[in-house]
Amino acid sequence: MHELAISQAVVDAVRERTGDQRVRSLRLVVGRLSGVVPDALRFSFELVAEGTPLEGADLVIEEPGGRARCRSCGTEFGTEGLVVLCPCGSADVAVTAGSELLVRSVEVA
Amino acid sequence: MCGTCGCEGDAGVRLTTLPDDAAHPHPHGPSGDTGRTVVLEARVLAKNEDLAVRNRRSLAGRGIVVVNLMSSPGSGKTTLLERTVRELGVQWPVAVIEGDQETHLDAERIRATGCPVVQINTGAGCHLDADMVRRGLEALDPPDSSLVLVENVGNLVCPALFDLGETARVVVMSVPEGDDKPVKYPHMFRTADLVLINKADLLPYVDFDPERCARQVRSLHPAAEVLQISATRGDGMPAWYGWLRALRPGLLPPG
């Protein structure tokens, strides 16, 4: 349940910028390969935001899909998992997108 | 002051408006009803990552090697540490940071070997983070050019996401857990520099294919090394010590 620590980090990062201003909504980027489960994040965010200016804020979560590039043949392709095999058969593949974990923006009152 | 247009905002808080906001639409005063977008584009784990960079820099400056050991509970990490500090500690000063949710049981086992040890109890926490390790290192005060082994909280999920500022990351798995752990917990294994397959003495009794397991590890992280060991019987320990010694700074590669 690292989403609890992730939620705390989200609240800390936002408050560092917006202080005591009430936050109405947050836009997060949680890549599909980031290892963070959006539903668990929503659940723990509610707990962590309680009593802070982020309490009750809407969470809008963008979930970009995974991308990978084969180091053998150079092909780029989409992937939904971390066990990635290039269509050419090579397992020497670098994940290039989908691991993002960002606070994109917030809406303050 | 607003960083984009220079209007007076709340003192001490730096706000940057969206680029398409540059025409000054954000409300001044309580009459504004539409809210205001504050762009952060901030990495959620930036604070931990910054602390990890600081740990890594200060450790490198003192020639200290830190190894983050991660595994599920019961893989034999503490037994591995006991043997490692006994056998390797005679040539290289070794200290240990123990991470568990509760109890000092593991730290007491390490202390019994005579090795300096600090226990971090995370309470409800499921992983160590860079700040906990910084505090652990402060309390431990390891000598320059020493080795610090960090036993993370037993958990194959959460520790994967947290950089501690370590020199290298090691995942310990054990034969009775099954050879499919890497594909079941890909986030953990993709960050591993080394995977130790412990309890290799049980291989004759358990349906575990070490080659299949190694293939899975390489499909997640092609550069990861895989070693078979038995921390109770001693198999493979010289290779593990050799791998650790190769992390020491200032050593020229052989040949």
pLDDT at B27 exceeding the cut of 80: no
Q: Are the beta carbons of B102 and B187 closer than 8 angstroms?
A: no
pLDDT at B10 exceeding the cut of 60: no
End-to-end CA distance of chain A: 31
Per-residue pLDDT band for B251 (boundaries 50, 70, 90) equals low
Q: Give the domain B46-245 fold.
A: Rossmann fold (3.40.50)
Q: Which of B44, B162, B219 to mutate to test the interface with A (most CBs of A within 10 A)?
A: B44
Q: In sequence order, what are the beta bridge partners of B251?
A: none
- Report the pLDDT averaged over residues B201-213: 97
In total, the C-beta contacts within 8 angstroms joining chain A to chain B are 102
Q: Which residues of A touch B (CB under 8 A)?
A: 1-2, 4-6, 9-10, 12-14, 17-19, 21, 24, 28, 35-36, 71, 81-85, 91-93, 95, 101-109
Rounded CA-CA distance B136/B163 in Å is 15
Amino acid in the structure at residue B100: D
Indicate the burial class of A47 (C-beta count within 10 angstroms; 0-12, 13-18, 19 or more): exposed
Closest partner CB to A83 (pick from B35, B36, B186): B186
Count CB neighbours of B44 within 10 A: 27
- Whole-number Cα distances in Å, A93 to A71, A98, A101, B2, B200: 6, 14, 21, 43, 30
| Spatial CA neighbour of B196 closest among B243, B146, B153 | B243
Count CB neighbours of A24 within 10 A: 17
Angstroms from A76 CA to nearest CA on chain B: 17
Per-residue pLDDT band for A85 (boundaries 50, 70, 90) equals confident
B44–A contact, CB cutoff 8 A: yes
- Report the pLDDT averaged over residues A66-83: 91
Q: What is the pTM of this model?
A: 0.84
Q: Are the beta carbons of B44 and A101 closer than 8 angstroms?
A: yes
Per-residue pLDDT band for B34 (boundaries 50, 70, 90) equals low
Q: Higher confidence at residue B102 or residue B253?
A: B102
All CATH 3.40.50.300 domain ranges of chain B, comma separated, are 46-245
Q: Higher confidence at residue B155 or residue B13?
A: B155
pLDDT at A21 exceeding the cut of 80: yes
CATH classification code of A3-65+98-108:
3.30.2320.50
Say what angle helices B46-61 and A3-18 make with each other, to 10 degrees. 100
pLDDT at B28 exceeding the cut of 70: no
Rounded CA-CA distance A74/A80 in Å is 19
Closest partner CB to A104 (pick from B40, B45, B216): B40
pLDDT at B144 exceeding the cut of 70: yes
A58-62 and A66-70 beta bridge pairing: unpaired
- Report the pLDDT averaged over residues A41-58: 96
Interchain CB distance below 8 Å, A17 and B14:
yes
Closest partner CB to B44 (pick from A19, A102, A106): A102
pLDDT at B77 exceeding the cut of 60: yes
Q: Write out the two tokens for B212.
A: 């299949």
pLDDT at B3 exceeding the cut of 70: no
DSSP state of B176: G
Q: Which of B38, B41, B163, B164 to mutate to test the interface with A (most CBs of A within 10 A)?
A: B38
